[in-house]
Amino acid sequence: MNSTVKHLSTHLSWSVALTVAAMLSLPAANAAPFAGGVVVSVIGDGTTPISTGTVAVPITLTEYSTSGSLTGGSVMLTTTDSGSNYAITGGMTSNSFGFLKRSVDGDYLTIAGANIPAGTQGSVFSSSGFPNRTIARVDAAGTVDSSTRFNAAGTTPRSAITTNGTDLWWSADTGSGSTGGIRYLTLSSTTSGVALANGTSASPTTAGQPAPVPFNSRVLNISNGQLYGSSGVSVGSGTNAVSFRGVFNVGTGLPTSANQLGSLIVGSGTSNAGLQDSAYDFFFADASTLYVGDDDTSTPTTGGITKWMLSGTTWNKTWLALPAGTTGVRALAGVTDTVSGSVEIYGITAVGSGQNELVKLVDTLSGTVAPSFSSLATAPANYVFRGVAMSPVAVPEPSSVVLLLAGAGALIAAGRRLKIRRG
């Protein structure tokens, strides 16, 4: 090979390597404002006291690092109707609203709230003048889509979750005339959706069998292709009452049709049984390890985070941990290292009064002793933390990847032609 061809061939080899390296190190498109930590839904305007529940206040999604420092990532959700986006706000004293969920594909965060302009006076979730509810979808770039608005009079919307940013399941209490429960709809819908839940105390049931999923539901999650919910109620009455006081499956898979049946996975058969009396958010670390947040304070208390481990077909309560100075934990998010078996759990505390906290504990999948909590952040004055989720993940723009691959392909082809010519 003469020196000119050798030099060009070497140059092409380096160019290919650099192109591939550039492709691999390409920063995620629109990576700001989230940097890969945990995101907290922060309720408040900095002025309204946390004890005031008669004014609509903004919802801000604020990112913290996994060690508790602010990353600078922050997105305030729409506070007034604007174009195709609708206002989504909340109330300071609404303890069971504001749960934040990351989509199954990791691209989005979702949250549900009231369609009331921030600053409006009145009861946020029971105002007859503002019967609509809004679901907001936020991507890793901080782009807010709050085009999903519908009438759900009287409901307190608790959570909304999606697999891919388009399909949506949301949960609430019963509302006025059973307008809440658990429902399925799609992005930009103008109706509350298909009612998956239809269970009440008057529902006909057979004890010990799957029963109509309760209208009065709390938080939704999706794990391994299955939709789950939590609640603190039973359906049916008397000897045929079926408990949903804990975590339960909603039908099979990811249902989109009405009147689903479900069964309790973990929890208490009766009120104050000491197993899982007031379940809210929950996290499946794997198929056989489940963590549940609870705010129960009645003896025997179940407030805090409970770990459940599956043995055969039976879920066993392994430990209960309560953060100091709190009455429990409501919101949860987590991440599992499948290689080491380490599990990081992030929670939002429930407190009797004052500012609540973002807390963390580190466990192992096989751990049977409750680990200690660390406090990562405290809600600022006149703000309250409500939900927590791992940050959404930005992906490279398809066009950028295509261009880089095309460039690499062209360089490789050129190198092959040189080799052929040199022969």
Specify whether the backbone of 414 is left (phi greater than 0), alpha (psi in -120 to 50) or beta: alpha
Q: 362 is written with which tokens?
A: 């580190």
| Residues 270-319: tens digit of each pLDDT | 888 889 999 999 999 999 999 999 999 999 999 999 999 999 999 999 99
| Residues 361-381: tens digit of each pLDDT | 999 999 999 999 999 999 999
In 287-327, DSSP assigns E strands to 289-294, 304-311, 314-321
Q: How far is CA 217 from CA 89, 224, 247, 252, 271, in A?
A: 20, 21, 10, 17, 16
Say which residues have a Cβ less than 8 Å from residue 194's Cβ, sequence separation at least 6: 183, 184, 185, 256, 257, 258
Q: How far apart are CA 282 and CA 305, in angstroms?
A: 9
33 near 72, Cβ under 8 Å?
yes
Q: Where are the domains of the chain?
A: 1-26+401-423, 27-395
Entry pTM: 0.87
Q: In which residue are the tokens 């782009």 written? A: 143
Does residue 17 carry a pLDDT above 90? no
Per-residue pLDDT, averaged over 215-241, amounts to 95
Per-residue pLDDT, averaged over 200-226, amounts to 93
Check: CATH 2.120.10 for 27-395?
A: yes
Q: How far apart are CA 128 and CA 164, in angstroms?
A: 33
| Residues 335-352: tens digit of each pLDDT | 999 999 999 999 999 999
Residue 18 or residue 204, greater confidence: 204
pLDDT of residue 91: 96
Q: How far apart are CA 155 and CA 216, in angstroms?
A: 10
Per-residue pLDDT, averaged over 24-31, amounts to 36
